[in-house]
A and B are shown apart, each in its own frame.
Chain A
Amino acid sequence: MPQLNPEFFVSQLFWLAVFFTFLFVFLWRVSLPRIATVLEKRQNKIDENLSSAKELQEQAMEIEKKINDQINKAKLETDEKIKETINALQENVSSQLSSLDKDLEKKVSDAEKEILKSKDDQMKNINNEIVNITKLTVGKITDIELSDNELNKVIETHKGNFN
């Protein structure tokens, strides 16, 4: 087996030492720091982006909160306005209703008064007619002339019987 031939052991060890040492030093000093800086740069970039994303998210949340606050405020204001309007309308309606009621009552009472007045008038007219008719009838049947006062007195005393 050529592996066990010691002829080239020293040569192999020598060149192994040379090449491996060179490789080790080169990677240690040149290649690996380069890759490390690239990876670090990328990590920094990622962290930066993540933090800015977080910041933006926080800002967005703040804005959303503000919007919600404003919406709530607007809702409250609208509710207040609606309540106010309803109250005002209700007041208006009730005042108009009460004034209408008053008008109606007045009209009813006026009408009642008028009816009473016309009733009285009618009654007076009836009295006069009765007086006239009685005068005429009595005058035709007898020759007695009755005065209006006498007749009125009689009618007054018998008024209860007519009604």
Chain B
Amino acid sequence: MAAKDSPLKQFEIDPISNIELGGYNISFTNSSFAMLITVLVITLFLTLTVSTRSIIPSRMQLISELMYNFIAQLLSDTVGDNGKRYFPFVFSLFMFVLIGNMVGMIPYQFTFTSHIIVTFALAAVVFIGVTILGFINHGIKFFTFFYIPGVPFYMHPLLIPIEVISYLSRPISLSVRLFANMLAGHTLLKVFAGFVVSMPFFTGVFPLAFIVALTGLEILIAFLQAYVFAILTCLYINDAYHLH
């Protein structure tokens, strides 16, 4: 497949300005630009819509409040009262992934959540943070997390390694889930977009219609993946408090 027409070409990173720091290439790229747009959209929206601080909210203020309450509810449902401390982090994570996905839905706009290194970094922050939190809350007892009570003793040699592996694979599953969803969705859109151009006469309308439907699905997935990312983070935080 020619590189020019490859559905994966959209994931290529193009530097906008080349920057080097301490021998490392930290160029400002289209990925960085998408992050910048995402952060600007979130901060401006959440600041401007609530600027009047009115008791009877405008529609836009209501959206901000709904998002706030959505994550606050999610945290209090999964973690309880302990969760309030992590609200800013979970909210930032949710908004960053959600708006990052949504910005990626704009045609010709780069989707930084389709890069495994980005999602893995976010998942790693969650994983390391939660593990440290677990040790802070429970000390050495945190290792009992891998011990499942109420299981016949001869099962433990089998179950404990499984538990350890499943715990260690958390950042991988968390990051790959988001990355793979974004990758697959955008690749599929690109493949069908290629059909629109290459099919003869008016038959290109059919893949076009499919793209329209798929775009709707992708927007749903964009929200869903952000939600899944946030709720799993909440569950991991909960695990760090209540070991089983």
Task: Show the binding face of A for B, using Cβ within 8 Å.
Answer: 1-5, 7-17, 19-20, 22-24, 26-28, 30-32, 34-39, 41-42, 45
Contacts and interface: CB of A to CB of B under 8 A. Distances in A.
Interface of B: 8-9, 11-13, 15, 21, 24-29, 31-32, 35-36, 38-39, 42-43, 46-47, 50, 53-55, 57, 61, 64-65, 68-69, 87-89, 91-92, 95-96, 112, 114-118, 121-122, 179, 183
A10 B57 contact: no
Contacts of A20: 35, 39, 92, 96, 122
B49 to A, nearest CB: 9
B115 A7 contact: no
A38 B55 contact: yes
Contacts of B28: 11, 15
Contacts of A16: 35, 112, 118, 121-122
B95 A23 contact: yes
Contact of A3 (B9, B36, B38, B179): B179
A63 to B, nearest CB: 31
A108 B91 CA distance: 114
Contacts of A1: 8, 11
Contacts of B39: 19-20, 22-23
A23 B24 CA distance: 24
A32 B117 contact: no
A8 B25 contact: yes
A27 B95 CA distance: 10
A15 B179 CA distance: 18
A3 B27 CA distance: 16
Interface centre among B12, B21, B115, B116 (most CB of A within 10 A): B115
A8 B24 CA distance: 10
9 contacts: A2-B9, A8-B15, A10-B24, A10-B25, A11-B25, A12-B112, A15-B32, A19-B38, A20-B122
Given A2-B8, A11-B13, A42-B55, 15 more contacts: A9-B117, A11-B24, A12-B121, A13-B121, A15-B32, A16-B122, A20-B35, A27-B91, A27-B95, A31-B43, A31-B46, A31-B50, A31-B64, A38-B50, A38-B65
